Chain A
Amino acid sequence: MRKTIRGKAAKLSRRTFIVGSAAAGGGLALGFSLPPGMRRAVAQTASEGTEVNAWVLVKPDDTCVIRVARSEMGQGTITGLVQLVAEELECDWKKVKAERITPGQNLARKRIWGEMSTGGSRGIRTSEDYVRRGGAVARMLLLQAAAQEWKVPVGELTVADGVVTHGPSGRSLSYGKLAAAAAKLEAPDPKAIKLKDPKDWKIAGKAMKRIDTADKLDGSKIYGIDIKLPGMLCAAIKDCPVFGGKVTSYDEAKIAARPGVRKVVKVKDTAVAVVADTWWRAKTALDALPIVWDEGLNASVSSASIAEQLKEGLGASVTNGDRKNGDALKAIETAAKKVEAVYGTPFLAHATMEPMNATVRLSADKAEVWVPTQNAEASLAALSESSGVPLANCEAYRPDLGGGFGRRGGTQDYVHQAVAIAKEFPGVPIKLIWSREEDQAHDFFRPISQCRLTAGLDASGNLIGLHARVCGQSINATLNPAGIVNGKDRRQLQGLWEEPGDAQLGYTVPNLLIEYVMRNSHVPVGPWRGVNTNQNSVYMECFMDEVARAAGKDPLDFRRALMGGHPKHLAVLNAAAEKGDWGKPLPPGVHRGIAQFMGYGSYSAAVAEVSVSDRGQLKVHRTVLALDCGHAVNPDQIAAQVEGSVAYGLTATLYGECRVRDGRMVDLNFDTYPIMRLAEMPKVETVIVPSGDFWGGVGEPTISVVAPAVLNAIHAATGKPVRQLPLKNVRLV
Chain B
Amino acid sequence: MAKLNINGTLRDVEVEPDTPLLWVIREQVGLTGTKYGCGIAQCGACSVHINDEVQRSCSIRVGDVQATDRIVTIEGLSPDASHPVQKAWAALDVPQCGYCQSGQIMAAAALLKRTPKPSDKDIDEAMTNICRCGTYQRIRAAVHVAANDTSRT
**Interface set of A (CB-CB < 8 Å, partner B):** 73-76, 209-210, 213-223, 225-226, 228, 234, 259, 278-281, 351-355, 400-405, 433, 435-436, 636-637, 640, 643-648, 669-671, 675-679, 681, 683-684
Contact = CB atoms under 8 A, between A and B. Distances in A.
Contacts of B133: 74, 353, 403, 644, 647
B20 interface: yes
A352 B37 CA distance: 9
Contacts of B40: 436, 669-671
Q: Which of A222, A643, A645 has the most CB of B within 10 A?
A: A643
A334 B127 CA distance: 56
Contacts of A215: 98
A387 to B, nearest CB: 26
A353 B131 contact: yes
Given A217-B95, A222-B32, A677-B128, A669 B38 contact: yes
Given A213-B93, A402-B97, A402-B98, 15 more contacts: A76-B96, A213-B95, A217-B86, A353-B45, A353-B130, A353-B132, A436-B37, A640-B135, A644-B133, A646-B134, A669-B40, A670-B43, A678-B123, A678-B124, A678-B127
B110 interface: no
A607 to B, nearest CB: 17
Contacts of B102: 219
Contacts of B28: 278
A83 to B, nearest CB: 14
B62 to A, nearest CB: 10
B118 interface: no
Given A403-B99, A678-B128, A436 B34 contact: no
Interface string B119-146: 0000111011111111111111000000
B86 to A, nearest CB: 5
A670 B33 contact: no
A216 B27 CA distance: 20
Contacts of B128: 677-679
Q: Which of A218, A220, A400 has the most CB of B within 10 A?
A: A218
Given A636-B93, A681-B140, A353 B75 contact: no
Contacts of A351: 132
The 4 closest A-B pairs by CB, nearest first: A219-B33, A647-B134, A74-B97, A402-B99
The B interface, classified by DSSP as helix, strand, loop or mixed, is loop
B77 interface: yes
Contacts of B78: 218
B16 interface: yes
Given A74-B96, A218-B75, A436 B38 contact: yes
Contacts of B129: 677-678
Interface in B25-81: 26-28, 30-40, 42-43, 45, 73-75, 77-78, 81
B6 interface: no
A436 B123 contact: no
B131 A218 contact: no
Contacts, number: 174
Contacts of A669: 38-40, 42
B97 A353 contact: yes
> DSSP class of A's interface residues: helix, strand, loop or mixed?
loop
B23 A217 contact: no
Interface centre among B20, B38, B130 (most CB of A within 10 A): B38
11 contacts: A74-B98, A210-B95, A213-B98, A219-B73, A352-B99, A352-B132, A353-B35, A436-B39, A643-B136, A645-B134, A670-B43
Contact of B23 (A280, A403, A648, A675): A280
Most buried by A among B45, B89, B90, B98: B98
Contacts of B81: 214, 217-218
Given A278-B28, A643-B137, A679 B97 contact: no
Contacts of A402: 35, 97-99
Given A278-B28, A675-B132, A223 B99 contact: yes
A671 B37 CA distance: 12
B105 interface: yes
A497 to B, nearest CB: 27
A352 B35 CA distance: 13
A648 B102 CA distance: 20
Nearest to B40: A669
Contacts of A75: 96
Interface string B81-101: 100001001100101111111
Nearest to B96: A74
A684 B137 contact: yes
Contacts of A226: 26, 32
B150 interface: no
User: Which of A355, A404, A436 counts the most B-chain CB atoms under 10 A from its CB?
Assistant: A436
A445 B131 CA distance: 20
Contacts of A401: 97
B19 interface: yes
Contacts of A400: 97-98
Contacts of A220: 33, 75
A678 B33 CA distance: 22
A645 B132 CA distance: 10
Nearest to A643: B137
Given A218-B33, A226-B32, A73 B137 contact: no
Given A218-B81, A219-B73, A219-B74, A354 B134 contact: no
Contacts of A403: 97, 99, 132-133
A644 B134 contact: yes
